[in-house]
Structure 1
Amino acid sequence: MAQILKGAPVAAALSDDLIKRAEKLRASGVVPTLAILRVGERPDDISYETGAIKRCEKIGIQVKRFLFPASCDRETLLNAISEINADDSIHGCLMFRPLPNKEDEAAACAMLSPEKDVDCMTSGSLSSVFTGKGAGYPPCTAQACIELLDYYGIELSGKRAVVIGRSLVIGKPVSMMLQARNATVTMCHTKTVDMPAVCRDSELVIAAAGKAGVVDVRFASPGQVIVDVGINIGEDGKLCGDVKFDDIEAIVSGITPVPAGVGAVTTAVLAKHIVEAAEKTLT
């Protein structure tokens, strides 16, 4: 049976460290602060916001919310971004996407200061992920994958890794982050020929396809570690990942569950980015 790579202990370990660092910041007169910018009332946004606020409160991070109706105009949105950029007491900004208007979203991402971009919304942050230089932070979910693998002692250097999905939110950034750790990475997507065979030949699979159950036993081989980033609603109406967990668990050596896997680590990574941003103000 595979080792179940649960996210809760990873998040707890990160939080314990961040509590100490946040206390040290406060003792130095710096209160680590997150700005949450939400347009509209999408249930998934509100759910993540609630979890992020709870995590921040536990660690000692202050949260300022900028909430607007779905009908919010561009000028109001950009004024909020400008206010966040100018406020030295705010160290990071989380803006929920997608916004109702794609053009407004592009303008907001372009305006946000990379130094305060704690979830890789700006081109400056993406550049730092791809080049290893500059301001900004990787996407929280992509880094959550790396944090989880590190916690469970899964070596990345020299390993053959496959990333399923090529989005700028997960696939491409996590591919670059794995390469930075000296893994040999293959990216798979909808046009990949014989994807199951490509995955079977790997030692690590990160599934970020966004399609329920797309990764089945054909993709798995003994000794593999599979990280499931997918969040989907299955035919039974329950939350599930991209991986057919029950079928694959008996084959591989390690696998993350959905829920309670990578998603449980994401808000802790968000908090880590805020604390790191606050620490930079001291130097």
Structure 2
Amino acid sequence: MPAQLLDGKVLSQRMYAAMTTQVQELTTKYGRPPGLAVLMVGDNPASAAYVRNKERACERVGIASFGTHFPTDVTQAELEQTIQALNTDDRVDGILVQLPLPGNHLDGTALLLKIDPSKDADGLHPDNLGRLMRGEPGLRSCTPNGVMEMLKAYDIAVAGKKAVVIGRSILVGKPIALMLLAENATVTIAHSRTPDLATVTQEADIVVAAVGRPNLVTADMVKPGAVVIDVGINRIPTESGKGRLVGDVDFAAVESIASYITPVPGGVGQMTVAMLLHNTVLSYSRRLGET
């Protein structure tokens, strides 16, 4: 039997519908909608596409979008001043800087530190990561939180399971490991220096691949019946020259072995944007005393 798809597109649509109703009620009550500000620098086509998707999603659920597009030669000081202004703007509840930043003259980490943690829509400020570490309420990293929402929505039990996270980035690997641990999974973090990766993953009930290497996870690395979460998004060349998107998992081979699997595209990526909007509404609600 092929694995059941963990359909991020369907789940995100369900979330948008619920958020639309919530935003309408809150906007009526407080006289303004939640607001999300996205700062983009340069003309990276992939970044531009991501920003357009975020703006469309905001429009769909009724969130005000305050996108700002800067030229490649914008200075660090100009961006920091913009963030400081957004921190004090009562119309704005979420702020994010679209990565990657072009050139070597901009420091993304320093910009992140300038964002008010209560408006950190990406959930990547050290204050919010520290709250995750301590098990305290806070804005959570969007992609890892999206993975947890998928597991919850499909009634996949995490407690008592062995989970292997491949990747140790601060964006996905480390936060998802902490989230799984908080749900009482036994978690192993594997990475590029892990010897005999297949031996590690073969024991896992849940495999999360988040390294950005096409088809890294092959059929012989997956235990029959395991849940496989593919966070990777990689564009590989095709004869047409347009390329196509694949994940870190060899989907065609692993689908017949796993019990559940996320597709690429249409899986975790869809949930990332949904959780970004969720964080914005959550920040709005907290700032206005709703939660």
* 1:281 corresponds to 2:284: no
| Match in the other structure for 1:161 | 163
| Match in the other structure for 2:7 | 6
Q: Counterparts of 2:237 and 2:201 in 1: how far apart (Å)?
A: 25
Q: Shift in Å at residue 190 of structure 1?
A: 0.9
Alignment check: 8 A CA contact 2:36 2:65 kept: yes
Q: Shift in Å at residue 193 of structure 1?
A: 1.8
| Match in the other structure for 1:120 | 123
Q: What is the aligned counterpart of 2:250 among 228, 244, 249?
A: 244
Count how many residue pairs are aligned between Structure 1 and Structure 2. 282
- CA deviation map 1:179-218 (0-9, x unaligned): 1111111000011121111111110000001100110012
| Match in the other structure for 2:59 | 57
Instruction: Give the letter for the 1:116 counterpart.
Output: K
What secondary structure does 1:71 align onto?
Answer: coil
Q: Shift in Å at residue 106 of structure 1?
A: 2.5
* 1:231 corresponds to 2:233: yes
RMSD: 1.3
Matches within 5 A, 1:9-158: 9-29=10-30, 30-100=32-102, 101=104, 104-133=107-136, 135=138, 137-158=139-160
Q: Counterparts of 1:258 and 1:98 in 2: how far apart (Å)?
A: 21
Q: Counterparts of 2:113 and 2:268 in 1: how far apart (Å)?
A: 28
Instruction: Give the letter for the 2:260 counterpart.
Output: G
Q: Shift in Å at residue 234 of structure 1?
A: 2.4
> CA 1:6–1:102 in structure 2 vs 1: closer, same or farther (change >3 Å)?
farther
Moved more, 192-201 or 123-132: 123-132
Instruction: Give the letter for the 2:40 counterpart.
Output: R
| Match in the other structure for 2:278 | 272
Alignment check: 8 A CA contact 2:76 2:105 kept: no
Q: Shift in Å at residue 134 of structure 1?
A: 6.0
- CA deviation map 1:15-72 (0-9, x unaligned): 1221121112101124100001111111111111111111111111000012111100
Q: Counterparts of 2:266 and 2:109 in 1: how far apart (Å)?
A: 32
Alignment check: 8 A CA contact 2:40 2:68 kept: yes
For structure 2, the residue ranges without an aligned partner over 5 or more in a row are none
For structure 1, the residue ranges without an aligned partner over 5 or more in a row are none
Q: What is the identity percentage for the equivalent residue pairs of Structure 1 and Structure 2?
A: 37
Q: Counterparts of 2:115 and 2:126 in 1: how far apart (Å)?
A: 10
Q: What is the aligned counterpart of 2:260 among 248, 254, 262?
A: 254
What secondary structure does 2:107 align onto?
Answer: helix
What secondary structure does 1:54 align onto?
Answer: helix
- Per the normalisation by structure 2, the TM-score is 0.93
Instruction: Give the letter for the 1:99 counterpart.
Output: L
| Match in the other structure for 2:189 | 187
Instruction: Give the letter for the 1:41 counterpart.
Output: D
- CA deviation map 1:143-170 (0-9, x unaligned): 1111111111111111111100000000
Q: Counterparts of 2:91 and 2:282 in 1: how far apart (Å)?
A: 14
- CA deviation map 1:98-139 (0-9, x unaligned): 22346532221111111010102321122122122364x222
- CA deviation map 1:235-265 (0-9, x unaligned): 5331100000001111111111101111111
